[in-house]
Amino acid sequence: MAEKISFKSPKFYFVYFIIFSIIILIIFSIIITRYYWDYWSQVRLMEKYYKGRLQEFTQVFPVINQYDPIKGSAAAKVTIYEYSDFLCPSCLSIQNDLKSLEKLYGSDLNFVFKGLPLVVATESRPALLAAYCANEQSKFWEYYDLLFQNTASLNQQEYLELANKLGLNMEQFTKCQSDNRYEQILDRNLTDSMSLQITSIPTLYINKEKVEGYFNYDNLKKIIDQQMR
């Protein structure tokens, strides 16, 4: 008896083809997904690495430089860096808050002044330079207070009168002014401010925390208390 030969229908082979194609597509999808997942993981790692390297060459936080006027102890728990200009009304408005904080925290606070001539005014730089000249004779903070008390009448005659009022050596003071001795300090502060992305004054740093825009005594006290912990 002759053996019957069976033939599978084309439809049967088509189903196998579809199943096989789907399996192949799944395998390729997994391979491609893993490849791109690894690729973007590497991209993120590289981005993190180069961002870290960039920060090494960019000033991220303020530092105390030579000739920066300082009030307080280096051992203080909190340092407040003040980027300011004597012709800036907002800088004047925070002075009472800063003095109240100084009175409250005492030796736990250290103040560093960074003169930043951002105000478009004729006396912006001269006032800052006069204050740095007073710093030569250890009278910066007293001179600082007098400048803020007389912002409406600042000019060369006023700078001399304030210096004389504090008993400064006038010959040394005027020589310092005529030499423009601290112009480079102001230029350095401007350069640093760009690295720190300071776009307005007053800007404060309380240790490493940047404070800009609107702030008051309560805001500052809260940040200082956090830094004290």
- The per-residue pLDDT for range 150-200, each reduced to its tens digit, is 999 999 999 999 999 999 999 999 999 999 999 999 999 999 999 999 999
Rg of the chain on CA atoms, in Å: 33
Is 33 a member of any domain?
no
Query: Domain range spanning residue 160?
Result: 70-228
Residue 173 forms part of a structural domain: yes
Q: How many residues does the chain have?
A: 229
Number of domains in the chain: 1
Give 224's contacts (C-beta < 8 A, 6+ positions apart): 78, 101, 105, 109, 206
Residue 48's pLDDT is 64
pLDDT (mean) for 51-65: 69
Q: Cβ contacts of residue 203 below 8 Å, gap of 6+?
A: 83, 116, 193, 196, 210, 211, 212
> Is 0.85 surpassed by the pTM of this model?
no
Task: Tell me whether residue 129 is in a domain.
Answer: yes
Residue 61, domain member (yes or no): no
Q: What is the pLDDT of residue 5?
A: 47
Whether residue 53 is contained in a domain is answered as no
**Across the beta sheet with 209-211, what order do the strands follow?**
70-71, 109-115, 78-84, 203-206, 209-211
Query: Quick one: average pLDDT of 3-29?
Result: 66
Is the per-residue pLDDT at 82 higher than 90? yes
